[in-house]
Amino acid sequence: MRVVRVALLAAAAVCALQAANSLETYVIDVEGGKAVLLVAPSGDSMLYDAGWPFPAGRDNGRIVEAAKAAGLKQIDYLVISHYDIDHLGDVPALLAAFPVKHIVDNGSLQTPGRQFEDRYKAFAAARDAMDHMSVKPGDKIPLRGVDVTVLEAAMKGIQTALPGAGAPNASCATIPVKPERTSDHEDNMSIGLLFTLGKFRMLDLADLEAFYEYKLVCPDNLIGTVDVYNVSVHAQEKGISGVLEQAIRARVAVMSNGPNKGGDPASWPILRGAPGMEDIWQTHFSNAGGPANNPPADFIANIDQTEGKWLHISAQPDGSFTVTNSRNGFTKTYKVRK
């Protein structure tokens, strides 16, 4: 009996050690907006965007639910990638609902239009009343235990390769660059981030579109390879460059899509055919994609009328990681890449 008890205690200690060393990521369902919660091995936390401001309180409620499920009592860094309504959400109400220590953004509003100005003013008033910082490419967000590097911000990207990156990207010669979409100026103001925990790397460029993605990987791949790619612009076609997907060789792609937003059918074959791609996970079944352009149901957090379920990524410093679907508990582990 004592031997069994010692073995159980040892197993529990191993699990606790793994949890203490892991990067926990919750891709929260905000119906085609963006809200990604991260908890570092140190316990420091970061919320990357805040979803929509409507229906009243819905997305803030889902964020708080995920934060409490992660064992948090505060969010250390709230990063607002840009000021589109599906990313900015209702920050003053979020601050009232759950403690936030620091806010990170890309600087002052540069996109004209009253629909931007009104919501930006409410955000800026809340931001200016607390500790905050604006970032530029090459900066670090000081999340203890995880390296968080800013690759892109305010339509500017890194100019030199990250350590271990910089190889020529052969696909640049065969895949033409998509033209810049000036009508969606605010998308390209996005703060794009690379998260690194030991050998594990996760790329998230928020709403950066294909024209600006191209600059990060052509003619040389300044980013290198990654394990998880949180697909740009909710996997809308305008965020799929073709050359980025070829260069980063992600094992898993994660779409923050809604039932009728993102997950474009045209995006699917490019992601599915990218070198190294093993699986695609989605927050929602894409109605436009149909059976041919959606993954199996176990890889989709919300199907039919199901709403509010998240995808949970637990990553280890050796490069292995596990993705769990909170809707049904389905889990898949990706062992260390050989």
Q: What is the pLDDT of residues 232-249, one digit of tens each?
A: 999 999 999 999 999 999
Q: What is the pLDDT of residues 202-217, one digit of tens each?
A: 999 999 999 999 999 9
Mean pLDDT score of the chain, rounded to an integer? 93
> Does residue 240 lie in a domain region?
yes
Confidence of residue 17 (pLDDT cuts 50, 70, 90): very low
Tokens standing for residue 207:
């709403």
Output the pLDDT for position 30. Answer: 97
Output the pLDDT for position 19. Answer: 52
**Domains identified in the chain, total number:** 1
Who's near 228: CB < 8 A, 6+ residues apart? 201, 202, 203, 250, 251, 252, 253, 254, 313, 315, 321
> Does residue 2 lie in a domain region?
no
> Does residue 5 lie in a domain region?
no
Tokens standing for residue 256:
């923050």
Domain range for 278 is: 22-334
Residue 8 has pLDDT above 60, yes or no: no
| Alpha-carbon 118 to chain mean position | 26
Residue written as tokens 């401001």? 53
Share of the chain above pLDDT 90, in %: 87
Tokens standing for residue 77:
């860094």
> Does residue 7 lie in a domain region?
no
Residue 6 has pLDDT above 60, yes or no: no
> Does residue 129 lie in a domain region?
yes
> Does residue 226 lie in a domain region?
yes
What pTM was estimated for this model as a whole?
0.93
Q: Using CA atoms, how far apart are residues 118 and 48, in angstroms rounded to an integer?
A: 21
Confidence of residue 12 (pLDDT cuts 50, 70, 90): very low
> Does residue 13 lie in a domain region?
no
Q: Locate the DSSP E strands across 90-199.
A: 100-105, 131-134, 147-153, 156-157, 192-197
> Does residue 8 lie in a domain region?
no
Residue 157 has pLDDT above 70, yes or no: yes
Closest CA to 239 of 63, 107, 81, 92: 81
Residue 135 has pLDDT above 90, yes or no: yes
Q: What is the pLDDT of residues 305-321, one digit of tens each?
A: 788 999 999 999 999 99
Which helix (H) or strand (E) is 46 found in, with range? strand 45-48
CA-derived radius of gyration, the chain? 19
Output the pLDDT for position 184. Answer: 67
- Helix/strand/coil for 60: helix
CATH number at residue 31: 3.60.15.10
Closest CA to 137 of 86, 75, 84, 208: 208
Output the pLDDT for position 306. Answer: 80
Who's near 191: CB < 8 A, 6+ residues apart? 79, 80, 81, 82, 104, 105, 106, 135, 150, 152, 153, 206
